[in-house]
Every structure is written in C-alpha cells, then in structure tokens.
Structure 1
Amino acid sequence: MDNKATWIWYPGDFEVWLGNKFNNRRTERGAMFPPFWKQDSHYVTVEFSTAVSLDKAETITIAAEGDFNFMLDGKLQFGMPGRFTVPAGDHRLNFKVHNQSVPPALYVKGRTIKSGNTWLATYEDKIWIDENGVAHGSGIYVPAASWTFDNIDTPPSSYSLERTEMQPVGEEQTGKNKWLFDFGIETFGYVRLKGVTGMGILNIYYGESREEALDMDRCETLDRLDLRANRFAEEEVEIVLDDSKAFRYVMVEAKGMITFSDVAMDYEYSAFSHKKSGSFRCDDRRLNKIWQVAAYTMDLTTREFFVDGIKRDRWTWSGDAIQSYLMNYYLRFDTDCVRRTIRQLRGKDPVTAHVNTIMDYTFYWFKSVLDFYQYTGDIRFVREIYPRMQTLMQYVIGRLNPEGMAEGKEDDWIFVDWVDFPMHKRGTLCFEQILLCKAFQTMHTCAEVLRDNPLQNPPQGSITTAEYAKDADRYGKLAADLKAKLKPTFWDDSRSAFMHAIEDGRMNRDITAFPNMFAIIYDMVDDDDKRRIMDSVMLNSDIEPITTPYMRFYELEAMCRMGYQERVLPEILGYWGGMIGEGATSFWEKYNPADEGAEHLAMYGRPYGKSLCHAWGASPIYLIGRYFLGVSPTKPGYAEYEVRPVLGGLKRMQGSVPTPFGEVRVKMDATSVSVKSDGGKGVLVLGDRKYDIPVGKELRIDRF
C-alpha cells in the first residue's frame, strides 16, 4: 500500500468540478458570462474498493465528501462509521460515496490500510445485494485519482490558490470622490479596501491600462459594493472583494457618506511544485527583459488551470493551453497543472461537440497528450486518458467527409487564427488536415506505448493489449493514408507551397503561412520541400503577415527547426520588444506594430477588448529553451535528451531547463560550450560532432 493516506476520487471528476467553478467566474461589466460550450458534471455516486490481507485486526479512520456506505466482504455495515475495525485475514473493502455538489471523495487511514491510487474506482452502479446481504455484480474499474490532499481536514473541495498582500506604487485623485491606484505592473487578485466607514456605494473600475480604469462607461470589468445599509457605519472595517480580477490600475469612486483610508490587493498565484525552474541570461539586455516578462506572463496565466487571458475570458482554451504546456516545460515544469487542464478540457462522454467547439482545438488536444508523454514519460496518465482519446476520435472520424478529411460542420468553429486580411474558413482547409493527421499519429503512438507497457494486474474492464495493438494499426493507417493525400490534394508545385482550401469542389489557391509552417513542424513533407516552403512562404514578404503571438509561436518554431535562429532573434527582439516599448509588463493577445496609441488596447470591436496578459504571448520561453539553449527530450521523460545550442546572433548566453530529474544547464559563447545535468542520458550536439553529457559533472568543449 502507499506510504501515506490521501483523498481519492474518480479520475477527471475533480478537474471537471473545479473547471466549472473556474470557467464561470468570467464577468463583463458586472454581468456573469458563462462559457458557450458544453459543461459536464462529476459523477454523483462513485464506488471505491481495495483488497487487504491483515496479519492482525486493524482500526481505520474513514472520512468522505458526501454520504457513504461501507461494505466489508460484500456485506453492508451500519451507518457511516468514522472508525471501523477490520479483522485479521483477507478482505475486500467497498465504499460507495454520493455527493451532488462536489466530487465524491474518500479518505481512509489505518496502520496499513490507506486510501491512495492503488485503490480502484467506478461510477458503474451495477452492484446488487442478494437475500443473504451479499453483494454481486461488477463495473468498469479504473485506478482512483489522487493529488496532494493528504490531510483528512483538507479534502479536494477545499482547494484554492495562494495569496499574498501587495500595495500600490502610486495613487492620485482623478475627480470628486474618485481615486486611481497604480500597482505598477499587470497583476491578478482581490482588491482590499481598508478603513471603510459610513454608508454608501463604492464603485471599483479595473484597467489593464490607465485609460481603461478611468473609462467608467467602457472598462471591461468593474465591481459595485453597496453599503447603504452598513450596520458598522461608525466603525472602520476592512473589506476584501469576493471576486478576483486582472488589472494594473484600479479606480475607486465613493458615492454617499462613505470613506476609505487605503487600497491594497491580495495577489493570487499558483505555487508550482517542481523544485527547479528555467532561467536565461545573455548579452542582449532587451532579450533578457523579454524572457523575464514572458516568464511573468506565464506565471500570471498559470492558475487552477492554464488560462488564456486573465482579464477577459479567464477560460481554458485548448489552442492556448497546448502552447502554455510547452512554455511551462521550459519554465516551471508544473506537470500537475498540465494534467488538470488536459482532463478539464476533455470533460466527459458522450462527446457532442469539438473541444471549445473549435475543430482545430480538438486536434491540438490530442497533440497535447503526446507532448506531455514526451516531456514527462508519464505512462500512467496516458493510460488514464486514452479511453477519452478513443471516444473523442470516434466523434472526429464520424464527421469526416467521404475523402476522409475534416470539414467544418454548421455547429463547428474553425479558428486557425485572428487575421488582419480576408481569409475564408469554409470547406476542406489544408491546415486542418495537417492537424488531423498529427492527431491520428498521436493516437497511433499512444496505442503503441500502452500496447508495449501492459499492466501486470489490469482492473476489470480495462482495454486489453490486443485492443491497443488493433488501435495502433488502425490509426497508423489513417495517418499514413491522410499524409499521402496532402500533396496530391493541396500542393502547388509551381509555387512550392500548400494552397488554402477546397471550397464547393474548387481549390482556393490562396497561400498563407498556416498550413505551410505546420507541414514543417509536423514533418508532413521531406527536407527538400521544407526548404522550398521556407523560400516561397516563410521568408516571402508577399505572404500576408501574422500579427498574433499565437501563430508567431509556430511561425518562429518552423524557422528555428530549419536553422534560422539568426533571423528569429531579430523577430523576437522586434515583436516582443515592441510590446515592451509600448509599456507592456506582460505580453498581449495580439500586437500589430502598425497600431498607434489606444489602438493597442482595442479588439473585438471594444476599446479595451484586447487581453494585455495572454498565455500565448509568452512564446519566447519555449523558443529560447528549445531552440537557442537547444534542450529537448529524445526519449520520454528525458530518459535520453539532446542539447543543440545555437547563439543565433548572440555573443553569449546561459540558462537552465527543468526536467523530471532536475535541470540541464547550458552556457555558450563564441568559443566554448558547457553543459551540466542532474540526470538522464544526454548528448551535446555541435554540428556533426556529438559528446556524451555526464551526470552531475560539467562537460566543457572549447574551440568547437
């Protein structure tokens, strides 16, 4: 059994429940704004079970989130006991927990009997009791889920982020009974009003910019504190607002006979559990600043889940999240948050719509599982999530056209990117087929991994090795067949590029960067075609430019994969450095250098609609760690990895990349490279030369 008892629940239920709380916190000017996609619920009744063999009687302590019954060897016991003595011998313990409001969870602690992830869970209510009081029947069992809830007094429903009080750096009166507070930097948390006395109304207006906080009629978020019936009107009280908000500036307007002495905030943050973090320093001060702002952006958008933007949406989006995961692998290596977000995005069966209703976001979701396995080596998670990969893929396949390609249906959202040029998203888009092909490849790889790593004693109802093998063959063929169709269907050899889409049976011959750069990143063409795409599309100024950090992530990754770091570095300095030049303290949802002044704040037809702290804006974390420091796993979980450092126009750089075993530290200048690693089997690659990296000792190569 596990060394310590912990709270357990049905896999995914905690994330579904927490996600519902999380995604429904969005407000627009004080109005609740729920997500517009299907929201699932946790299973309200879950059975937990384990088998024990005791050399002597053992008393256990029992706690549950919900009402529960307890069966010992198939016989129901009286009531809901908080303590119970299990006699010596071989026994089976079954607990059935019911809770409508929070996920049913169980905590059992004895000398040797301790709840943990060796226990089994099922939501299948197939157990019946005969005339002798003996239980019969079975369900589909899976290993119970657990996390860090190891104390009986801290069940899963008590989970919350950390808080610390912070003070504004500036204050000014902007009108009669109006005060503006500047916290100096984009931040997130709860406004704390101090020394409140009297009766009246306090209006609080939030702004990521000064302009937004001062614009009472059009700012995106606000609060209203009605104290006209204040029972403590003659006392000074301190009030912490109930709802967290994103802001740099806060304007407080006092109406009526009410005053306050000061404003502060409770900064809310996620405390990551990994002991090591990524770092970077180089000779270019602007790039150092970009890395720091990108890291801060990631920390702000790493919450209960990886969120897109902290001000406006505050939702989990699969397209945003897959980039957050990759950046996280090079910054905090917070694998707990990755697992939570992947589970929450997937939700429950039956599947009735694409993830976030967006077809490309479904395909990214599959890829995120493969990335997670590559960086962590966590087969257990792949095995847990695979049945939901299967049912989601069945939904995808059921909606393919007769040619086996993905087309948007009437109720699908085809996103691709926010663009500043006309781009139709109708019909059969080449971009979507490349993402679908990668999703097929992901299913093939995951099925192979699970086929080759079978459980010794699989729970009843588990997918068999033969079924994994069948899936591997099926999805391998689907991937190969679709890949083989890409060039004959979409490639224009005279223009050395993939065309946009088939619309109403005719080819839309527009050429954009989107399918072409993904063809490079996902290896959908050979090296010769990759080089042709670089010349004809990626380095062609006649191709419409990308103006979102979201797709600049992939654009610059494609260039780095092709060895163009010396061209990527000025792009990072100009694009992300441009945002810093405009006063950004975290990176934005979108940045068009041609915009001026207040144009940088507007989006979606609203003057302050743009998110000025958006997860996909933190791309430099990944690009620098992966393609400049050059660290990447070549076998799952960094069991084997390589370091391919590239200065890319820098004179010197140094940094570290977090891994499951600690850090890989890289230092490079024009004449030397050194690498030091805490574990794994690493190889330093310099041109056509390779050097084994020792564990715990510095490898230094001079005059390479």
Structure 2
Amino acid sequence: MKPRLSTTVIALLLSLLCNIAAAQNRAGWIWYPGDFEIWLSNQMQATRSERDAYFLPFWRLYSHQPQVNFARRVELAAPEDIVVHAEGKHAVTIDGKFAQGDQQRITVPAGKHHINIQVYNPASPPAIHVQGKTIRSDDSWAVGPRPYPGAEGPQAVLASSWNLHAPAAPPSQYKLPTREIPAKTIARGKHSLFVDFGQETIGYVKLKNLRGHGKVSLYYGESLEEAQSPETCEILDHYTVADSRGDFTSDRSRAMRYVNIQLGEGMTADDVTLMYEYLPLTRRGQFKSSDPELNRIWDVSVRTLELNTREFFLDGIKRDHWLWAGDAVQTYLMNYYSFFDNDAVKRTTRALRGADPVDMHINTILDYSLYWFIGVQEYYLYSGDEAFVKSIYPRMVSLMDYVLARRNANGMLEGLPGDWVFVDWADMPKDGELSVIQLLFARSLEAMASSADIAGDHQKAAGYRQISDELKAKIMATFWDAGQQAFVHSRVQGQLNRLVTRHPNMFALMLGYLDPAKEAAVKRLLMGDKAAKITTPYMRFYELAALAQSGQHGYVTGQIKDYWGGMLRDGATCFWEQYDPRQKGVERYAMYGKAFGMSLCHAWGASPVYLLGKYYLGVTPTRPGYAAYTVEPDLGGLEWMEGTVPTPRGDIALRVSAKRIEIATADGQGVLRLSSATPPRAGAATVRSLGGDRYEVDLMPRSNLAVDYAARIQH
C-alpha cells in the first residue's frame, strides 16, 4: 500500500509552491549599473569624522546619472495592468506613445509592445519598480541614457538590482537593519555612565528612560584607554537634549567596545543598550581543529570580517568608513570562505570604480587600481558570474587605458604626479620602478585578458596578454639578482636599488612566476631574517599565502599562532590594522601621529579565514563557479581539522586526520589531491598515482567519500 500524505502536509506543500511562484514573479527596484552603488558609497564615505570635524575623501567622488531610460519588450496574450513606482519624475511610453494621466497604474494592451520608462532624479539614482501579472522589474530590463535602450547596440546595458523589493522602500531610503543588544557592564558615576559591551561592535547608543535636560557627550573607545581619554579619543558625539523622560538614541552609527557617557547636571538614565547595526549574513564557512587557539583565531577573524561587511566591504569600522581597493580585494577572498556574499563584492567593486572618465587611480593609489582588476577576475573564478564581468568590462577597459597611458619608456609603471604608491606601511623607498608594482601590473593585465575573453573582446584579450608576457620577461631580466637569489626592490632613473624586501618576492612566489630553483630561494628568503619583517596583517596575508601555496603549512601555522594569537593574548576581540608585539600598553594603539589612530577592527586583519579555508581545508575552484574544483587538505601540524567551504553549488564539508579524510561534496566535478606514505584506500573510488607520495581521487557531485591514508605531519 502506498503511503498517503496528510492534509496538513499537502497544505504545506501547496503553500511552499505558492511562495516559490510568488517569489519568481516578485518585482524589485532596478537602476543603471553602478549608479546606486556610487550614490550609496558617497553617502557612507561622507560620514567619516575626526572628533568634531567631518573628514571627507581626498579622491574624486563620482555621481549617478540624473536621467535614465528603462526598457522592456513584452508579448501579451491578454491586456495586463502594471503598477509603476519611480524614484524621480517619470514618463511611461508604450510603442513610443506617452501614457496619459495616471503614470502609476497603466494597462498594457495584448500583443507585442516596447515599454519605456524615463526617470529624472538629480538627488538620488533614478530607479523603478514595476509589478504586473507577468511584467515585472528585474535585471533583464535594458537601461541607458537614451530612450529605447536595447535598440541602440552598445548604448544599452542590463539593469542592476539587489534585494530591494518593497515598493514603499526605494533605494534612496535603504538602511542597514538593527537589533538591540545589552551592555556587559555599566559603571555609574555622579554624572556619567561607563559602558562595556564586552567586545568590538557597532551601532547606535541607546539611553533608556533618559530624564532631565542638558548636554549628553559620548566618547567612544575600541580600547578601554581610548574611551577613558575624552581629549584624544578618535570618535565622539555631543547632543543637547531638551527636558525629556523617555529613551534617547544617538543618530550616528559608531564603532566601539566601550563608551564613556557624560551627562549634564541633574540628568539620569536607567540603562544603556546598543542598537547593533549589521548586514544580514549567513556564516556558511566553518573551521575547527585540534588546536583551541587556532579555533579562536578563526572565530575572531570571522567576527572581524562580519563587522566590516556592511553596505560595502569597509577597511575598519571605527575610523574610515571609506572604500579602499587594496583592503577590499582581500576581503573578497575571505568572503568566499565564510559568507560567500556575491552582492557585497559586486557593490564594492562598482563603487570603487565609479564612473567615466578616469582621471586618477582608485583611491589615488597606483597599486590599488591594479588590485581592482585582479579582484574582478577572482570574483569570476569563485562565482562564475559571467553577466557581472560583461557588465563591468567597459569600465575595466577605460581604467586600463588610463593605466597603460601612464607607462614609462621602459613599459613599466612608476608613481607620477598625483599618484600615491602605497604597497604597505613599511619604511622603504617608493620612487622609481618598484619591482612589486610591475608584478602586480603583469597580473592585472592577465586578469584584464581573461575578462576581455568573457566579454567577447578577443582582440583586446590578445593585446593584454602580449603586454603581460613582455612585462614579465622584463621583470625577470631587470630585478632578479642572481647573487642574492631574490628580486631587488626597484630601479630609479636606470640605477638598481639592490635592497631586498619581502614584497616582490612573495608576490612572485604566490603568482607562480618563478621556476623551481628561484621558488626555493624565495621560500628560504621569506622564512628567514634577511629581509625586514612585515608588521601589518595586510601584507602578512600575501606573505603567508605565498608560503602556504608552496607547501610550508607547518611554518604558516606557527606564524598565525604567533601573530594573530599575539593579538588575542594582548586582549583583542577583533583583529587590528597593525600589530607589533614589541609594543606594549597604550602605545600599541597609536598610528598616524595620533594616540588612538589605529583601527582595532580592520578587515585585512581577518586573513586566517582565507588562509585556513584555502590552504588547510584546501578547497579551490579550478573552473568558474566551482564547475570544477580541487580539495587538497593539509594539516600543517594539526592532529585533526574539520570545516565547511561554501560554493555557489552547495557547501563542501570535510574532516581530516592523519589517517583519514572524509568529504561531503557539492555539485561540480571535484578532485581530491593528497600526500600519503602508503597508497591510500578510497572504497570504490579510483586512486591515481601522481608520482612519489602524491595521489588523486575523483569526487563525484553530491556524494560522500572516505579515504584512508598515512599523512606526514609537519611540525
């Protein structure tokens, strides 16, 4: 007898099907690609302050287009009513004829038609929301500066959207959600409240049942010492409150662990909480191991990244609220092993690039323009989002045209007037042709070639590859010092500066630009003391990635525990912008000539998320969007580890010990690669020898596999 479904189960299934159908026919707000992202980033970046003064960006801010046309061709079997909402003045035409009267509720006749909605809005990005039975606004609409985009070839592009669906909540009103969280401790003085929220956080301070009138001053601190220093803390707010009896909430989202609240004479408050402000995220990536300290490093890294993942990927939540390309490209990679939020990557990429024409590097920083190209190519590898690459490609071309026009007579890049050559906060000369800049330039050209191929621009792709190949040959001939067995630092007016720094050497290793002999020499350099140590998590990210990629996992484990573990031992609840273990006490928080200038919750501090996900769990896409991938786990001295890596095709979970690897795969074709002292056993799966102690096993989509092997543990 076949089992029967209960009426309750049938009702639930019908409800689910109805919800799916409704979601598939759900309209969303749409706009010209980049316009909302540029506008929203401008709003956010203009909020930075230094004590009582606004601190505005020092680079060019672009604007949205004030007028945009949205177009869609439809074919209807019957007339259809549509409801149109627009941000700005708008006019609707059907087949070139204006809809008269009510511009919000319009009937589209049966048959084939061309709908065009023209919107003018100088204050915020023109956007529309259209909902009918079958006609709805989504990213299949054509948008452009002229009427009837789509009929004009290159003038037309496809609209952008996000998860903004409510007609009554247009893009210009977007705000991050909040939820109330309690204080961990509150120390009360006669006219003060000193609050500790227990860990780094961000949001709006709320005073419960504030009574009286007068001045309310809030002095924020990422550290206890900062909050206790009203004269030198970085962030503060002053409010004048009229006679009141009720809750008071600050109007500025601030980063803090501590807040020192000073109240006017006679004022009291019953309690203090925080309206925690956040971007809804799901922690898909996981990591746990036999090492409790490493586990805590992972957890604090994810917390650091989570706080800095907001409307865009920020560098730090306290100080800047600006978008920096170098910081962002690292957070993209961390994101792929934690949240896999593609929308945050796309928003940040568009906002950083801005609009045309190009007259300066991104953030004015030469190397940041180069990272931006690399970030687009890496996004495509992890996401498989071909549509985004095609959409952003024209602005890739215009930025690369700007970069290429600034090459010197040697075909290399060096800082020109108006350029900031950053590389790192390290104390090193930055004039002339820096070898690390040329390596990043070569990689950016490779990224540009890949994107050109995706966009169907094969002639440009071939040109970019040729320039990159020629440049790589020049780099090796110019900067490799056979005597020192390393890349030297720079060339200025034809004269080599034979200083050896870690930066070009680790990038050459990570990018795979070295033959085996040079690779071995560079690994020795990076694991020794010949070159000055790096003190920022920003460049430690690349240094340790290069070493892990070349198989030095045991060394990397020690470095992670020493560096990031050192921050934890010094009281960190998120990871910092810079860390020098030789500094103690309050001096640790000084930077930029200010007592508390350093960020204690900095996105580039979350490097272990990427390092442990990619090089220890070992999951890496080999074809866009994880259509194919490798799993190459390495314990790096651990007894065991387990974790989950998110992909667009589902999560890949694995548990690894010195004797056994267990994997639950996602869709896509995977390959497990491993080293084993004896031939591994993988049940019915075929084990192939790669020579020596190296083996590989095919991973079937949506399957479970256990492999018994004999690992050689690194210590």
Q: TM-score, with normalisation over the residues of structure 2?
A: 0.92
**C-alpha distance in 2, partners of 1:370/1:243?**
36
**C-alpha distance in 2, partners of 1:154/1:656?**
36
1:256 is displaced (CA, Å) by 3.0
Among 135, 140, 147, the alignment partner of 2:155 is 140
Q: Partner residue of 2:698? A: 692
- 1:357 equivalent to 2:364? Answer yes
* CA offset digits 1:532-569 (Å, max 9, x no partner): 1112x212212100000000000101110110000000
How many residues are matched?
670
- 1:444 equivalent to 2:432? Answer no
1:176 is displaced (CA, Å) by 4.5
1:79 is displaced (CA, Å) by 4.6
Among 261, 267, 285, the alignment partner of 1:252 is 261
1:677 is displaced (CA, Å) by 1.3
**C-alpha distance in 2, partners of 1:176/1:512?**
55
SS of equivalent residue, structure 2 residue 297:
helix
SS of equivalent residue, structure 1 residue 399:
coil
- 1:506 equivalent to 2:480? Answer no
- 1:476 equivalent to 2:489? Answer no
The 5-angstrom pairing of residues 638-657 of structure 1 reads: 638-657=626-645
1:126 is displaced (CA, Å) by 9.4
Structure 1 window deviating more from structure 2 (525-534 vs 321-330): it is 525-534
SS of equivalent residue, structure 1 residue 696:
coil
Over 3 Å counting, the alpha-carbon distance change for 1:140 and 1:80 in structure 2 is farther
**C-alpha distance in 1, partners of 2:625/2:561?**
32
**C-alpha distance in 2, partners of 1:85/1:543?**
72
**C-alpha distance in 2, partners of 1:579/1:62?**
54
CA contact (8 A) 2:312 2:348 kept: yes
* CA offset digits 1:455-498 (Å, max 9, x no partner): xxxxxxxxxxxxx0111111011111101101111110111111
**C-alpha distance in 1, partners of 2:286/2:407?**
44
- 1:394 equivalent to 2:408? Answer no
- 1:285 equivalent to 2:307? Answer no
Q: Letter of the 2:179 partner, please give it.
A: T
1:72 is displaced (CA, Å) by 1.3
Among 423, 433, 441, the alignment partner of 2:438 is 433
CA contact (8 A) 1:126 1:139 kept: no
Q: Partner residue of 2:549? A: 561
* Gap runs ≥5 in structure 2: 1-20, 676-693, 711-715
Q: Partner residue of 1:326? A: 333
* Gap runs ≥5 in structure 1: 128-135, 452-467
The 5-angstrom pairing of residues 60-75 of structure 1 reads: 60-75=82-97
- 1:317 equivalent to 2:310? Answer no
**C-alpha distance in 2, partners of 1:309/1:470?**
40
- 1:584 equivalent to 2:572? Answer yes
Q: Partner residue of 2:170? A: 155
CA contact (8 A) 1:69 1:79 kept: no
Q: Letter of the 1:425 partner, please give it.
A: K
Q: Partner residue of 1:263? A: 272
SS of equivalent residue, structure 1 residue 659:
coil
SS of equivalent residue, structure 1 residue 195:
strand
Over 3 Å counting, the alpha-carbon distance change for 1:121 and 1:169 in structure 2 is same
1:525 is displaced (CA, Å) by 2.0
The 5-angstrom pairing of residues 148-297 of structure 1 reads: 148-173=163-188, 176-227=190-241, 230=242, 233=243, 235-272=244-281, 277-297=284-304
SS of equivalent residue, structure 1 residue 63:
strand
1:80 is displaced (CA, Å) by 5.2
SS of equivalent residue, structure 1 residue 699:
strand
CA contact (8 A) 2:536 2:579 kept: yes
Q: Letter of the 1:403 partner, please give it.
A: N
Over 3 Å counting, the alpha-carbon distance change for 1:88 and 1:27 in structure 2 is same
Q: Partner residue of 1:519? A: 508
CA contact (8 A) 1:680 1:695 kept: yes
The 5-angstrom pairing of residues 400-411 of structure 1 reads: 400-411=407-418
Q: Letter of the 2:236 partner, please give it.
A: L
**C-alpha distance in 2, partners of 1:224/1:3?**
48
* CA offset digits 1:254-292 (Å, max 9, x no partner): 1233222221110111102x6x61101111110011001
Among 345, 349, 367, the alignment partner of 1:342 is 349
Q: Partner residue of 1:119? A: 141
1:670 is displaced (CA, Å) by 1.1
Q: Letter of the 1:608 partner, please give it.
A: F
Over 3 Å counting, the alpha-carbon distance change for 1:593 and 1:26 in structure 2 is same
Structure 1 window deviating more from structure 2 (255-264 vs 106-115): it is 255-264
1:331 is displaced (CA, Å) by 0.5
1:363 is displaced (CA, Å) by 0.3
**C-alpha distance in 2, partners of 1:67/1:144?**
19
